Structure 1
Amino acid sequence: METKKKIFTAAPLPFMGQKRKFLKQFKTALKQYPDNAVYVDLFGGSGLLSHTVKSVYPDAKVIYNDFDNFRERLENIDKTNQLIEGLRAILSDYPKDSRIIGRTRDSVIACVKLAHEGGYVDYITLSSSILFSMKYVLSFEALEKETLYNCVRKSNYSGVGYLEGIEVVSKCYKELFGNHKDTVNVVFLVDPPYLSTDAGTYKSYWKLRDYLDVLQVLDGTNYFYFTSNKSSIIELCEWIETKTPMSNPFTGAAVESMNATVNYNSSYTDIMLYKQWTHNIS
């Protein structure tokens, strides 16, 4: 009997900025697009959008730009689980969500150091188990300086089948866009790091110029574009259209939004805009 493929509603491993809370709106909007299109995920991140497209349209060609090397983290899930299991054993009698101090902290650090010396530690995933909520480190040296908390995950991670049938590349988004901008029946998924939000786990630092450059991929293309009300990108484009000869890439686009909560006193609005150009999609 054929095993039913698992459909993930969140990335298999922690990833800042994944669109798990936007999947319902995204899948509904996706039904307006062809099932045989080429979907190019320019800022693949955790790959959740690519996975979702492939689960909705199994016959579509989906290209996931893994610029942050999430695939390496997936390929090392067994090592990550082994490390988490070791921490789980050390902290088995330790109060949940409490600060890790004394000899127990020394044992936790020693466990991580052993894994580090063994050649691989997924520090982003590890951070979610022993650091305060939403805090991340990317190295052993940084971890040693942090206050640790017992937030260890109770079950192991699994990414089996997550990227099945998806073409994975790792390129500058501009190069990838250039490779496919003239492709018939192509849809671009555009989810860059948000302006004015924490992009600490991304490889590179983004300036305003970088965010504006991204808008060029929306001109005359079929797209899904994600932003937030913190960026003010939509208002900026409206101003540009009014005050300059330039056009607004969001004119005529459909808009979906939802409230996203960071913590008890901080929230923002997540926004998805999507648009089809009838001359190059069918």
Structure 2
Amino acid sequence: MTTMEKTYNQAPLPFVGQKRMFVNEFRRALKDFSGKTTFIDLFGGSGLLSHVAKRTRPDARVIYNDHDNYRERLRNIDRTNSLLADLRGLAGTFPRHGMVTGKLRERFIGRIREDEDSGFVDYITLSSSLLFSGKYARNLQELEKQNLYNKIKKTDYRCDGYLDGLEIVCCDYKELAEKYAGNPDVVFLADPPYMATDISTYKMDWKLSDYLDVLLVLERNPFVYFTSGKSPILDFCDWMEKHPDVRNPFAGAEKRTLTAHMNYNSSYTDIMLYRSL
């Protein structure tokens, strides 16, 4: 199997908000765009939507907006695997999921600091191996304030061929939207940060107007749009009534919902809407 033939059903490295549970629904939605030639992932995140779109429609052009620089994490995947391997070695027979304290915690922090001093640590990936479910640290200072647990992944991460076939850019989503607005062959994939949810791991700081502005770019193009049951964004579509030249972009759209479980006592509803023309 060539790398271009390999299909991932989740991103190779952890990413908050990746659409792994929506992959099958997303593939089905793509069938409604069989005549379209270009898919633009405005909020690329982990690149999973772009990857799935390209594997589902290898004939189409797929543009991945890597605004969060996920590529840097992929480029350093061997370094991340090496760090996790060393932490596994330090843990030895320490109980799985046990809280790491005392001398072992000091050794863990010391080993992480070595990579910090030499240039790169993927703290999002590291968090999934050391922190309680749903918690993330963005740097060593934040990590040191958290309780650490021995949840270290037992196998290496792999990303072979994950970005093959994609056109990759890094820019404000509005630049892409403006460039392709009104092109009937272009489908916008829009998975912005969810209103009323934690966006601390994203490289952006949004206000209410930013969430509403995303709706404006959906006015003139076919789209697949994602939001959450925690977000009031659909209610805010009433805002459109105050802009008589802009119609509700969700009118006539298909809607799919899926319950996502963060841990044993926390869940939320993911929502996907799509309109084929």
Structure 2 CA distance for aligned equivalents of residues 4 and 168 of structure 1: 16
Q: Secondary structure at the match of 1:136?
A: coil
The aligned residue for residue 209 of structure 2 is: 209
Q: What corresponds to 1:265 in structure 2?
A: 265
Contact 2:184–2:221, Cα closer than 8 Å, also in 1? no
Residue 171 of structure 2 corresponds to residue 171 of structure 1:
yes
The 2-side partners of 1:162 and 1:2 are apart by: 11
Alpha-carbon deviation of 1:265?
A: 2.8
Contact 2:228 2:270 in 1 (8 A): yes
Q: TM-score, normalised by structure 1?
A: 0.93
Secondary structure of the residue aligned to 1:103 is helix
1:85-118 Cα shifts (integer Å, max 9, x gaps): 1001011211000100111111101110111112
Give CA-to-partner distance per residue, 1:224-262, whole Å, 9 cap, x none.
00001211211221x345677452111011111111222
- Tell me what 1:280 maps to: none
* TM-fit CA distance, 1:276: 2.2
Mapped partners of 1:5, 1:121: distance in 2: 30
Q: Distance in 2 between matches of 1:208 and 1:243?
A: 16
One-letter amino acid matched to 1:138: R
Structure 1 residues 98, 35: CA separation in 2 closer, same or farther (over 3 Å shift)?
farther
- Find the aligned partners of 1:25 and 1:2 in 2 and give their Cα distance: 25
SS at match of 1:84: helix
Deviations 1:180-236 (A, max 9, x none): 224341000000000001111001121111100000011021000000121121122
Is residue 16–residue 201 contact of structure 2 (8 Å, CA) maintained in 1? Answer: yes
Partner Cα separation in structure 1 for residue 194 and residue 162 of structure 2 = 25
Cα distance, 1:132 vs structure 2? 1.2
Helix, strand or coil at the partner of 2:234: helix
Corresponding position of 2:44: 44
Distance 2:212 2:205 in 1: 14
Where structure 1 has 5 or more consecutive residues not aligned to the other structure, the ranges are 278-282
- Conserved 8 A contact 2:180-2:186: yes
CA distance in 2, matches of 1:2, 1:106: 43
Mapped to 1, the partners of 2:160 and 2:71 lie a distance apart of 12
* Number of the residue aligned with 2:86: 86
Equivalent pairs, count: 276
The one-letter code sitting in structure 1 at the alignment partner of 2:203 is K
Counterpart position of 1:253: 253
TM-score normalised according to structure 2 size: 0.95
Aligned pair 1:100/2:100, yes or no?
Answer: yes
Instruction: Tell me which residue corresponds to 1:185.
Output: 185
- 1:233 aligned residue: 233
Instruction: Look up the match of 2:70.
Output: 70
Matched, 1:199 2:207: no
Q: What is the alpha-carbon distance in structure 1 between the residues aligned to residue 23 and residue 166 of structure 2?
A: 18
Q: Is the 8 A contact 1:240 1:247 kept in 2?
A: no
Query: Percent identity over the alignment?
Result: 51
Please name the residue that 1:21 is paired with: 21
Supply the distance in 2 between the matched residues of 1:244 and 1:32 (Cα, whole angstroms). 29
| Aligned 8 A contact 1:240 1:248 in 2 | no
| d(CA) in 1 for partners of 2:207, 2:4 | 43
Q: Deviations over 1:18-57 (max 9, x none)?
A: 0000111110111111265100000000000000001111
Match of 2:118 in 1: 118
Gaps of 5+ in 2: none
Q: Taking structure 1 as reference, are residues 36 and 126 closer, same or farther at Cα in structure 2, changes over 3 Å only?
A: same
Q: 1:163 to 1:3 in 2, by over 3 A?
A: closer
